[in-house]
Amino acid sequence: MKLYIGFDDTDNAEATIGTGKLARHFEELLPEKCRVWGVVRQQLLVDPGIPYTSHNSSACVILDIPDSSFIEVILERATGHIEKESLPGSDPGLCLAPEGHPDLSGLIAFGQRCTEKIVTQREAMEAAKKIHLSGHGGTNGGIIGAAAGVGLSASGWSGRFIEFGNLRAHPELVSVSTLTRCGISVVSLDRDAIMPHPDDTVFTKGWLRPRFWGQRAVLPVVQTGKGQWESLGGKRKNNNK
């Protein structure tokens, strides 16, 4: 079964390790038989009325776990992780929900609202209902992004992967077949939507970040020549995600 763990607001302006890296590092604390399926960055509303460190994004770790008996120990370790690694001046929040939880639909709707308007901690708690949502310092404002991160990821139609298999190990020029074997679907966004051939190559610009679409890792590409494609998007300066 899948388990969603949202982290948010764990860093400060001087941080060298942002929330994305903190979320990725949680893999080191997983119990045996549990594995990271992916880590997804979720972009929330950027507005002068919202305090954030860099881009107002949260991170959601998606785990594959054998059954619900592992949830309690994972929650305990996630709590210890965020409390240990969050930096002074941060307002960390943690959210954890298993797939199929009856309150996830409300959290999905809440996540969508967080991409469009300013919301409050009270709204986050009301949306979470019986889903675990906790603050771990400062104003506890990170509960908003943590809840939104879980909701948007649970929808299966939002965000981009900052961890999925060995995506960071690929060279900037990689074959479609290699990506497919790694579980990444390569999808053409050209007008005619021609299917990329397995032997075609994709130029990732050294920044391979599939989108989370249809509960899958999907890499949108445009054709640049015969048998040649280029992925959309690129790395921001000073972006550790």
pLDDT value, residue 240: 46
Percent residues over pLDDT 70 in the chain:
94
What is the per-residue pLDDT across 143-154, written as a single tens digit (0 to 9) for each?
999 999 999 999
CA distances 128 to 37, 143, 145, Å, are: 23, 10, 12
What is the per-residue pLDDT across 9-62, written as a single tens digit (0 to 9) for each?
877 666 667 889 999 999 999 999 999 999 999 999 988 877 766 678 899 999
pLDDT value, residue 52: 66
pLDDT value, residue 128: 97
Supply the CATH classification number for the domain 2-161.
Answer: 3.30.70.2200
Domain edges within the chain = 2-161, 171-231
Percent residues over pLDDT 90 in the chain:
83
Contacts of 229 (CB under 8 A, 6+ apart): 176, 186, 188, 196, 200, 201, 202, 203, 221, 222, 223
Q: Cβ(162)–Cβ(24) under 8 Å?
A: yes
